[in-house]
Amino acid sequence: MKRILVTGGAGFIGSQFVRGLRDADVTVLDKLTYAGNLANLEGVPHTFERGDVCDAGLLRRVVPGHDLVVNFAAESHVDRSIEGAGEFVRTNVLGTQTLLQACLDAGVPKVVQVSTDEVYGSIETGSWDESAPVRPRSPYAAAKAGGDLIAQAYAITHGLNVSITRCGNNYGPRQYPEKLIPLFITNLLRGRKVPLYGDGGNVRDWIHVEDHCAGIRLVAEVGEPGEVYHIAGTAELTNKELTGRLLEACGRDWDLVEHVADRKGHDRRYSLDDRKLRALGYRPQIPFEQGLKETVRWYHDNRDWWAPA
């Protein structure tokens, strides 16, 4: 039975990845910050270790013996990174390096570094392929780009078998209500206003978390060392268009939308070309309309999970 270590495995995407694993002995390492929640792993067989990916001593104990390490551990909210970048650099850069060194020292056969399309900055037309240069425009994106570059350096310098995935905006159940979709859903379900940045024209490409995790599993199986693989979304929408769909799904009107000042350095548009991963057999399975409807229903039916947030 394969032994798999999932860092950040109590968070939104990490816990979904753990839920999708079959016939594996899974260890979850998570610091349990505000976005980590052990309830996300209820009913899922795993061994839990509470700790920080920056803790080299802890990693020397936990990492050895695993066949695969998947790194989801990250500070991920752009607004928080604008308010204070220190923790983002610490976790996303130093934490990644500390983990990769532990994997190298322990002889881990395969590592996947989970990253984001935000490392590329903003694109007016077309889509980025994996050869595009990184041009991050927020502290969060810069920290993620730093971690990715460290991963590529470990592949080239040390021969570590680490691949990198970059994905668009995720949505689905169990996402902490600070990101757009869960924030808007939970506010609307309570009859509260939702904040729409600027003119609402910023464009994002949305992917269901289950499809994202399927792409990561494929890269874990066949990804090449030092290579980047895009996992593109299934619906490219302006934030205003998305807001309209959320209002409809929650049975609310535009009078609950509050236009607020735009975020500093707000990237206008993201778009990924994922032909490289599709050539390996990847196909997203969840249409956006279906996934969004099911996500709204999950938050409606699981108020105890998010109401304390």
Sequential DSSP letters for 90-108: IIIIIIHHHHHHHHHHHT-
Stretch 273-283: mean pLDDT: 98
pLDDT of residue 303: 96
What residue ranges do the domains of the chain occupy? 2-170+207-233
And the tokens for 57? 């001593």
Query: Taking the model in full, what pTM does it have?
Result: 0.96
Enter the DSSP assignment of 178.
T
β strands within 162-212, DSSP E: 162-167, 169-171, 194-197, 203-208
Provide φ and ψ at 23, rounded to 5°.
55, 50
The fraction of the chain above a pLDDT of 70, given in percent, is: 99
Which residues participate in catalysis according to the annotation? 117-118, 140
Q: How far is CA 183 from each of CA 177, 256, 280, 301, 306, rounded to the nearest angstrom?
A: 4, 13, 35, 16, 10
pLDDT of residue 79: 84
Distance CA 217, CA 267 (A): 29
**Alpha helix (H) ranges present in 223-287?**
239-250, 275-278
- Average pLDDT score, the chain: 96
* CATH architecture of the domain covering 2-170+207-233: 3-Layer(aba) Sandwich (3.40)
What are 9-61's pLDDT values in tens digits? 999 999 999 999 999 999 999 999 999 999 999 999 999 999 999 999 999 99
Residue 82 clears pLDDT 90, i.e. is over it: no
pLDDT of residue 207: 98
210 close to 286: Cβ distance less than 8 angstroms: yes
